[in-house]
């Protein structure tokens, strides 16, 4: 019989945290043993699930929860300001950590990799848990072998704190590995308003849109002589991310060190 994994959800009262709580509760081989959210005041899991018989509490202090609970894996959906310190606390307890919060820099990711290896455990940094988004990035990586001119448009809800998105950054990194050279900007090109042409990651322009009504969407636009190619993925609700979240929770417990991107686990 496969051992059920004991899971702690951090950032449980956020939109992704709530969906993750419900997904873990509905899984056959995961057990929700607790949740953490700094905004929790006498809150319980039943406030999320609607099951009045569910008496699990939501902790406000992560370190207290880590010291008090028997855990196999922790998943973090908090914010860019908190996620790095949260992940360090989890890894120092020797517990595998899944990070769905974007905003980590290269230096922070490298440090988490080193910390995970020191504590003989794993950490997964996943910019996007949607299976379709992973395929979109892989298709863009393949297309970049044939097109060197490319721009990315990423569109998210108006409450997303960081820009550009983690998915668009990773997409740009994957494209840059394969494309046949970097195009030169036309002579004399300038911006009448700073930022009008978007930001740049490895010379690839990324345009970030933030509007109510959106969830998570991305277009990769390639241009060539007499043709364009558009690769697009849309997540219309947060349930679309849950199969990837569950898959990552199940697999990270057998990994030592860092995994960056869901494509390495599929």
**pLDDT single digits (tens) 194-229:** 999 999 999 999 999 999 999 999 999 999 999 999
Condensed to tens digits (0 to 9), the pLDDT of residues 53-98 reads 777 889 999 999 999 999 999 999 999 899 999 999 999 999 999 9
Asked if residue 221 and residue 158 are part of one domain, the reply reads yes
Average pLDDT, the chain: 92
pLDDT of residue 240: 94
> How large is the C-alpha radius of gyration of the chain?
20
Q: Contact at 8 Å (CB) between 167 and 140?
A: no
Residue 1 has pLDDT above 60, yes or no: no
Whether 156 is a known active-site residue: answer: yes
Asked if residue 121 and residue 247 are part of one domain, the reply reads yes
Asked if residue 109 and residue 39 are part of one domain, the reply reads yes
Annotated active-site residue in 93, 148, 157, 160? 160
- As a whole number of angstroms, the distance between CA 44 and CA 56 comes to 6
CATH code where residue 28 lies: 3.40.50.720
Whether 25 is a known active-site residue: answer: no
More confidently predicted of 248 and 42:
248
Asked if residue 159 and residue 258 are part of one domain, the reply reads no
Nearest to 115 by CA among 134, 136, 90, 132: 90
Asked if residue 152 and residue 109 are part of one domain, the reply reads no
Asked if residue 89 and residue 13 are part of one domain, the reply reads yes
Annotated active-site residue in 156, 217, 233, 251? 156
Asked if residue 138 and residue 116 are part of one domain, the reply reads no
Structural domain harbouring 151: 131-235
Asked if residue 245 and residue 229 are part of one domain, the reply reads no
Asked if residue 252 and residue 216 are part of one domain, the reply reads no
Confidence of residue 2 (pLDDT cuts 50, 70, 90): low
Asked if residue 12 and residue 118 are part of one domain, the reply reads yes
Asked if residue 82 and residue 209 are part of one domain, the reply reads no
Q: Contact at 8 Å (CB) between 109 and 260?
A: yes
Number of domains in the chain: 2
Asked if residue 121 and residue 184 are part of one domain, the reply reads no
Task: Please give the order of strands across the beta sheet that includes 30-36.
Answer: 58-59, 30-36, 5-10, 73-76, 97-99, 122-125, 257-260
Question: Which tokens sit at 125?
Answer: 């940094």
Q: Write down the pTM of the prediction.
A: 0.82
CATH code where residue 170 lies: 3.30.360.10
């Amino acid at each position: 019989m496969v051992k059920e994994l004991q899971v702690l959800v951090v950032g449980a009262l956020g939109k992704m945290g709530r969906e993750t709580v419900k997904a873990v509760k509905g899984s056959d081989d995961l057990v929700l043993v607790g949740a953490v959210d700094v905004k929790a005041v006498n809150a319980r899991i039943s406030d999320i699930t609607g099951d009045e018989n569910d008496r699990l509490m939501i902790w406000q202090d992560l370190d207290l929860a880590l010291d008090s609970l028997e855990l196999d894996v922790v998943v973090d959906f908090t914010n860019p300001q908190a996620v790095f310190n949260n992940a360090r606390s989890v890894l120092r307890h020797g517990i595998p950590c899944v990070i769905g919060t974007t905003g980590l820099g290269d230096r922070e990711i490298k440090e988490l990799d080193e910390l995970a290896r020191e504590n003989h455990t794993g950490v997964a940094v996943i910019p996007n848990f949607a299976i379709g988004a992973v395929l979109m990035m892989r298709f863009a990586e393949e297309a970049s072998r044939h097109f060197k001119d490319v721009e990315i448009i990423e569109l998210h809800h108006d409450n997303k704190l960081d820009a550009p998105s983690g998915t668009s950054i990773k997409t740009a990194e994957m494209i840059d590995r394969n494309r046949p050279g970097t195009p030169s900007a036309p002579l004399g090109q300038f911006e009448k308003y700073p930022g009008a042409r978007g930001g740049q990651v490895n010379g690839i322009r990324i345009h970030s849109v933030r509007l109510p009504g959106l969830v998570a969407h991305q277009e990769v636009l390639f241009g060539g002589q007499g043709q364009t190619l558009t690769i697009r993925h849309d997540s219309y609700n947060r349930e679309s991310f849950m199969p990837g979240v569950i898959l990552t929770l199940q697999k990270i417990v057998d990994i030592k060190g860092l995994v960056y991107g869901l494509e390495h686990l599929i």
